[in-house]
Amino acid sequence: MKTNNNIFLALFFLIGSIAFGQENFSFYVEIPDVNKIPVMTHSASGARMTYSKTQNRELDKLVNSYKIYNCKKVFDNSNKSSLQNIYLIECNDLKLMNQLYDRFKQFYPRVEDASAQTLYVPNDFGTTGGYTGIDQEELNYIRAPETWDLLDIANGGSNNVIIGIADNDFNTNHEDLLNRIEVVYGNNNPNATGTNNANHGTYVSSMASANTDNGIGMSAIGFYAKIYAAAKSRSDGLDALSQMAGVKVVNASWGLSSFSPPSITPIVYEGINDRGVVVVAAAGNGLDSGSNSTNYYIPASYKDVISVSAVGHKNYISGSTETFVDSHAYLKNGQIGSYQHNDSIDIVAPAYGVLVANREWGGPYGQYNQDYYGTSFAAPMVSGTVALMFDVNYCIDPKEVETILKLTAVKIDHLPQNIQYYGKLGAGKLDAYEAVKMAKDMADAFGTVEVKDRILYRPWFYKLETAPYEIKMTNNDVTGGSKLKFNARNNIEVLSGDYHPSTGGYIDLSIDSNLALDCLPPPSSSKNTKTKINSIEGNILESSENRLLVFPNPTTGALNIINKDGLNEITISDITGKSVYHVKDLNYNQLQINMSKFNSGIYFIKIRTKTGYIIDRKIIKE
């Protein structure tokens, strides 16, 4: 995650197919006046859409000169007031966005491109290089087998963590994704073919958490983590996924650029983090995705997003491409190439020649392909790791997840092959084992968290506060603008190292015996929550049996409670246990409680459904 970036990038678009077979561009726009919202009508054939009249003749003329396929309000459930009037417009030409802003800024004060390019590059030489079997060295490279030894595999995991993935179409019938992935937002086409972007979500999902230990196909770092999918590579899909119970990490294996710093989506990602959900994004594929390798991509370059770039996990020759272990660069047709490297990168992971689930049968591996390249595949390896971190410790927050990933990464920018990228490959390569182990150590009643052999000089904030028993710091070199805030229940020992941060940096170490793991994980997988999000309007439609949705949390006022089985009784208590709200004998499925006059702080809500099921949740009133 980053502190500040000046984003000035080349503009590019993902051209996708939507209803009526039209080319589709999309953008976010702020529309404070409801009279200026485009309203579509269909012709008798259903193929023509027009715009209803407004009070402004010039505006009508402009909008009617384009084809608008859809206009819907997004981010409805965000607790960020600046997102309450944001709409998504899908149209045939992005010039409409620029003209609305340039000519009618008084009606449309903020606009932002919402198109995206998936960040992967299928190797053009295919899978005809004489392979003899499936190779998943990328999992050994990040120490996946050792990581899995830390899990409660026999009982299906500890905390039933779900990965959210917003991407293009998903083959939910693939043998290694069957009963593992569920599309809950957007209109999915599981049989999409024809372009390399079709079913890109299938590839990405398999990297994050393909069915593992099932005797077929491939393994994935996420092992048993479930996947909720949004069938569109857009920020509103990630936002919707982040509001679903059990989702603790969302993945964006796509990127977008802009001529000016965006003003809408940074707030979206801040809101996702505020919900306690981590955002992981692909950093970009350099020239392979149409930009300079040092450019910044969004959302990866946002401060509330973990940006993932590429590293080679083995010495590998396939066709005209050659990759090298621990090397950020690769050779293609004898020329040096690389994916994104800049000061917004947080971590790197395998992205060259990795195994993915394919969308259809073909090639020597049937439903799989081992010649895919791109940061699209590095990002879900990190997302799968983050899911396991929450599996062993549900209470850590997004900043602590980022801290742990960075404190356990293996530094590689000092190696001879990477020296030209020094300071531009984040904290180093992903070490899934050490990351999950540190998360687990923080949750253990008498665990010891070891911070050792770190060279910290970047202006990054490192936070470890969620109830570690003991922290030991050994052989660390802390300089520059590094900011450390560590808190433990019993003891912090600085055993060796050099700790002299300069202006802007600091080291804050403290002991608090009252620290506790204070969070409520979702119920067991046998009663897994799934809330269906309407693909057109983004409204909540339903929840599964005996489960409910409570949002937004934290809240500044209105608290919404939805349960399809019906609500019977609701009690809210403050942190002392005193009841501050109680209602019973309810006879409906949803309720909105006004908490605007409640004091700021932590509250506990007890909900009894019509079926007699009792659920406890923690609510934060801001």
Nearest by Cα to 25 from 114, 105, 98: 114
Q: Which residues contact 86 (CB under 8 A, 6 or more apart)?
A: 28, 29, 30, 73, 74, 75, 110, 264
Q: Residue 197: in which H helix or E strand, if any?
A: none
What is the spatial distance between Cα 183 and Cα 236, in angstroms, rounded to a whole number?
15
Tell whether the torsion through CA atoms of 154, 156, 161 and 162 is positive or negative. Answer: positive
Residue 329 pairs with which residues in a beta bridge? 338
- Of 375, 406, 410, 404, the closest CA to residue 390 belongs to 404
Catalytic site residue 200?
yes
In the annotation, is 291 catalytic?
no
Task: Compute and round to an integer the Cα radius of gyration of the chain.
Answer: 24
Contacts of residue 348, defined as CB under 8 A and 6 or more positions apart, other chains included, come to 308, 309, 310, 311, 328, 378, 412, 425, 426, 428, 429, 430
- 51 contacts 39 by C-beta, under 8 angstroms: yes
Catalytic residue among 78, 115, 158, 167: 167
Cβ-based neighbour number of residue 209 at 10 Å: 29
Structure tokens that stand for 346 in this block: 């947080």
Strand partners of residue 147? none
Q: Respond yes or no: is residue 441 known to be catalytic.
A: no
- DSSP assignment of 547-574 equals --EEESSSBSSEEEEEEEEEEEEEEEEE
**Spatial CB neighbours of 519, under 8 Å, sequence gap ≥ 6:** 394, 395, 618
CA distance 58 to 68: 17
Please report how many Cα atoms fall inside a 13 Å half-sphere around the Cα of residue 32, on the Cβ side: 9
- Residue found by looking up tokens 């991509």 in the block: 297
Q: Tell me which of 174, 200, 313, 341 is the catalytic residue.
A: 200
* Backbone φ, ψ for residue 467 (5° rounding): 65, 35
Residue in 209, 376, 535, 543 annotated catalytic: 376
Residue 14: closest CA among 3, 2, 23? 23
Residues 280, 282, 283, CA angle at the centre, nearest 5°? 115
The answer to whether 430 touches 349, Cβ cutoff 8 Å, is yes
Pairing verdict, β 226-230 and 181-185: parallel
CA angle 148, 150, 151 (to 5 degrees): 70
477: which strand partners?
455, 498
How many Cβ atoms sit within 10 Å of the Cβ of residue 216? Answer: 9
The packing angle between helices 95-103 and 57-64, to 10°, is: 170
Using DSSP, state whether 37 is helix, strand or coil: coil
- Helix residue ranges per DSSP H, 393-431: 398-408
**Active-site annotation, residues:** 167, 200, 376
